[in-house]
Structure 1
């Protein structure tokens, strides 16, 4: 695993993952399953991979995955899960603070889910998304999924992160958002369980683009 120097983002996310033995469900993001299930396996870049569920799902379907996160704790956890799943040899775990560095190479699929950070943690989102687009191979796919609104249990409607619409994501991407084939640009709702254990729904946005082959 590549390592970067300490940073506010690194410290925040190390604390975030270090607070619990497991943060996420271990299941791949529903949008990834929906949008990537029919893609021919190749090379994939998973930006903000967390504990590795998406990377493992892709690897199990024949992809060779570069999985990137800023938190060493998340990467080590993901690598352990990959070993348990029998796909450790198909995933390269790399530590990057995307505000400071970006993985090299080009990929048939570049995927990022919920590229959000709280107020006070630097995240140059527009630049990162454009770097992500630049990493897509000709004919490859860029998949960007994010929250569109705050969770319903935040009844005071305060949120310290701007949550862009899919149309705003296209604008953030610049040229790719205007010249690549737009496969998906829209919102969807998904069922979740709130902090109080009650069922709820979240609204997410999906942007899926294909880079011209020529």
Structure 2
């Protein structure tokens, strides 16, 4: 292994603690309103009669709460303990605990669920975290494993048209560290590469935030 590669991996592994520290300091870092991607996904899931959602990288729960308020059963994973605690606290305060099951998990490891148990999977900017392409391939296979046939995987990721792409510290592949956060920027080719075993239903490009960030919302259906 080259020296640069080991330094890069060390930087990637430190992101968990960086997010933990950030969530502890900012209890509603992304606000409390549901994201536009979650609202769009919920419409699709309702239209298709889907009920049981796996949410990956739930953060502090703004989309998790929204899904539960709309009658979905949500199993949410995040690798920050403070995020999971925030979700469970909000679920209890809002009387949604029966619909929300939140736990701590690193998506670089196998998902802690049996095969074909979820109707759909949803994640907002989890795929563009500090995950290598090989780790994303593994995650995509795991999502496919836990989805029922015909299940949907909807995810968002910052893309290579984003103004931050190519800036900051290069951490390998299409990953750049900007303001302490490592982002893996997606091209359409990467989306297609990770869609093995799925039908690509839609790749929608949209803006979010004041910068603004440029993202893809990818909708996949398990074959």
Deviation at 1:41, TM superposition (A): 4.2
Deviation at 1:71, TM superposition (A): 0.6
Residue aligned with 2:215, SS: strand
- Which shows bigger deviation, 67-76 or 13-22? 13-22
Residues in 2 aligned to 1:118 and 1:207: alpha-carbon distance in whole angstroms: 19
1:202 equivalent among 203, 206, 213: 213
1:189 equivalent to 2:199? Answer no
Normalized against structure 1, the TM-score is what? 0.78
Residues in 2 aligned to 1:58 and 1:80: alpha-carbon distance in whole angstroms: 16
2:155 equivalent among 144, 161, 164: 144
Residues in 2 aligned to 1:167 and 1:29: alpha-carbon distance in whole angstroms: 25
Count, aligned residues: 193
Q: Any unmatched runs of 5+ in structure 1? A: 1-6, 194-199
Q: Any unmatched runs of 5+ in structure 2? A: 1-12, 169-175, 178-182
Change over 3 Å in CA distance of 1:27–1:151 after alignment to 2: farther
Normalized against structure 2, the TM-score is what? 0.76
Corresponding residue of 1:117: 129
1:37 equivalent to 2:59? Answer no
Deviation at 1:135, TM superposition (A): 1.6
1:111-141 Cα distance to aligned partner (Å, 9 max, x none): 111123349x998222112211222112221
Corresponding residue of 2:144: 133
1:1-214 matches, within 5 Å, as 8-39=14-45, 40-105=49-114, 106-115=117-126, 116-118=128-130, 124-149=135-160, 152=163, 154=164, 157-158=167-168, 159-160=176-177, 161-176=183-198, 180=199, 182-190=200-208, 192-193=209-210, 200-212=211-223
